[in-house]
Amino acid sequence: MIAILDYGAGNLRSVELGFARVGVPAVVVTKPEQLREANALVLPGVGAFADAMNALRSGTLLPEMLREVENGKPLLGICLGMQALFDSSEEGVGVEGLGLIGGKVKRLPSETPLGRQKVPHMGWNTLTPRGDSPMFDGLPTDPYVYFVHSFACFPDDPADVLASAEYGVEFAAAVCRGNVMGMQFHPEKSGEVGKRLLQNFAKWAEGGAF
């Protein structure tokens, strides 16, 4: 069973339905003890970085989540949930992230060498995988996924980048450090590619090595 953390800042139902579509048991949880019963954890998120971090820290789930992650349980952050994995964000100056992956979250540029671009970045974009992670097993070349974000992650260590994308600047679209993974895009809204990504994460949760 995969536990989807309900801390007041997540697109819970769509993530739950995304796993249901591929036959993976996933439930929205509100109690710390439910995290101990899960094979893996999902930290969703929509909205502003500071609001999400404040909601996470004021609730009861975070201490148990961090204990489970420290003990090796897989954790997937989606969209704002991925940004929360990092040290800090320009969206919430002075508000600390979880620091599970070193690096910063920065605003996407509205001015580029090719001219102005709309922010937020909203729509389909190509992933460029870095290396041969099993997370991308069964995916087509240059897979398309769905993004909705104004801020993007820039890890300190390039080895933490599973895949990149470009929107005026190259940014980390998917990251992994140990048992902590993040996807800036929405796999639950990314069609057949997203389904396969959720299946691959579930396989990892069952004990497959990455």
Q: Is 121 a catalytic site residue?
A: no
Among residues 16, 64, 68, 79, the one annotated as catalytic is: 79
Summarize pLDDT for 154-196 with one digit per residue, the tens.
999 999 999 999 999 999 999 999 999 999 999 999 999 999 9
Q: Is 176 a catalytic residue?
A: no
Q: In a 3-state reduction of DSSP, which class is residue 186?
A: coil
Confidence check: pLDDT of 102 > 70: yes
Residue 33, pLDDT score: 96
Per the structure block, which two tokens stand in for 91? Answer: 């969206």
Find the mean pLDDT for residues 116-130.
94
Average pLDDT over residues 111-138: 88
What does CATH list as the number for 2-205? 3.40.50.880
* Residue 191 to residue 165: CA distance in whole angstroms: 18
**Can you point out the beta strands (E) in the chain?**
2-5, 26-29, 40-43, 75-78, 88-89, 103-107, 111-112, 115-116, 121-126, 128-129, 144-149, 151-155, 161-166, 170-177, 180-183
The reply to whether 153 belongs to the active site is no
Give the pLDDT band of residue 2 (cuts 50, 70, 90).
very high
Question: For the chain, how many residues are written?
Answer: 210
- Token pair 């389904």: residue: 195
The answer to whether residue 209 scores a pLDDT higher than 90 is: no
**Distance linking the first and last C-alpha atoms of the chain:** 19
Domain ranges across the chain: 2-205
Q: Could you give the 3-state DSSP secondary structure of residue 151?
A: strand
For residue 154 the two structure tokens come to 């820039």
Whether pLDDT at 96 is above 90: yes
* Residue 8, pLDDT score: 86
88-89 and 75-78 strand pairing? unpaired
Joined together, the tokens standing for residue 110 give 């509205």
Peptide bond into 120 cis (omega under 30): yes
pTM of this prediction?
A: 0.95
pLDDT value of residue 114: 65
Q: Where does the pLDDT of residue 11 fall: very low under 50, low under 70, confident under 90, or very high at 90 and above?
A: confident
> Where do the H-state alpha helices sit in 59-168?
61-70, 80-83
